[in-house]
Amino acid sequence: MDNSFAGRRALVTGAGKGIGRATSLALAYHGAKVLAVTRSQADLNNLLQECSSITPLCVDLADWEATEATLQGVGPIDLLVNNAACTSLQPFLEVTPDQFDKLFNVNVKAALHVSQIVARGMIARNSGGSMVNVSSQASQCALRDHTVYCASKAALDMLTKTMAVELGPHKIRVNSVNPTVVMTEMGRLAWSDPEKAQTMMSRIPLGNFAARACAEVEDVVNTILFLLSDKSKMINGVTLPVDGGFLAC
Ligand code: NDP
């Protein structure tokens, strides 16, 4: 085992599936003590079967009080990955208030809240730390039918920057990763239609579905691990695309 995160305690949200799950397993593999937060107990049971050293925490992060209660007393955290998010596809003219609130509650407000809880502990211990927000290329490039998702990720990018400014003096670094399409459950929801997918993929300089499929979960996880690690100790407040060059076009 590579012990590069040995002795560190990491909290990962949205750890039940996709990128969050893979990040939790990678951090545990590299020696971190991982606290995995998600809202489906079945996913946590399953995750524990794969890696018994992980501590499961089941909560709906859209619920402010329940989140506060669940994260109270989890002990010191050195590394935080705000990965949990949801999406829904709606043309701009059909966006509903409940969908707006649902997405902003999880994608932005929960990231802010979990970060506040973790940062307060880091500051009290004077330990410093590193946080990564999982954003998206959609924060910087408008996508049809993704009005609220794009807006929520743009808000998350600015949250990353404001956190970096205010938490930097406490030696807490905050960065985001901004992936292109990744074929997780969320990716499949938006990009399973081959015609739509081809239009997106044709805009990625490093490849397309036929050649090198969009981003792999591993590409995103490796970038998260880099930003969490001391190898990036002078990087703070960046929104780092993992997009094969999509945002460069
Ligand atoms: P998945 O849908 O595969 O996994 C998301 C995880 O977050 C699930 O375990 C889900 O639990 C959990 N989650 C969602 N809402 C809540 C909540 N309210 N409380 C607790 N847990 C919650 O998504 P991905 O792995 O694809 O996405 C991970 C991150 O990457 C997200 O921030 C996403 O926006 C971003 N991203 C994804 C891209 C893609 O193409 N897949 C592209 C760019 C960015 P449950 O299943 O129980 O709801």
| pLDDT at residue 213 tops 60 | no
Query: How high is the pLDDT of residue 243?
Result: 95
User: 64-78, 164-178, 182-196: lowest mean pLDDT where?
Assistant: 182-196
Active-site residues, by number, are 149, 153
Average pLDDT (36-63) is: 98
Render pLDDT for 2-19 as a digit per residue (tens, 0 to 9): 779 999 999 999 999 999
The per-residue pLDDT for 202 is 87
Does residue 14 have its Cβ closer than 6 Å to ligand 1? yes
Say yes or no to pLDDT of 209 above 70.
Answer: no
What's the confidence (pLDDT) of residue 196? 87
43 touches ligand 1 (CB under 6 Å): yes
Cα–Cα distance between 215 and 225 in angstroms, integer? 16
At 110-140, the pLDDT tens digits run 999 999 999 999 999 999 999 999 999 999 9
- Packed helices 147-167 and 97-104: angle between N→C axes, nearest 10 degrees: 30
109 C-beta closer than 6 A to ligand 1? no
Query: From atom 36 of ligand 1, which residue's Cα is the shortest distance away?
Result: 136
Question: Is residue 207's pLDDT more than 90?
Answer: no
Sheet of 239-242, strands arranged across: 55-58, 33-38, 9-13, 79-82, 129-134, 172-179, 239-242
With a 6 Å cutoff on the Cβ, whether 38 touches ligand 1 is: yes
Looking at residues 59-81, what average pLDDT do you find?
97
3-state class (DSSP) for residue 41: helix
Probe target for ligand 1 pocket from 12, 19, 136, with the most ligand atoms within 8 Å of CB:
19
CA of 186 relative to ligand 1 center, distance in Å: 6
Domain ranges of the chain: 9-182+217-242
What's the CATH superfamily of 9-182+217-242? NAD(P)-binding Rossmann-like Domain (3.40.50.720)
CA 187 to CA 193: how far, in whole Å? 11
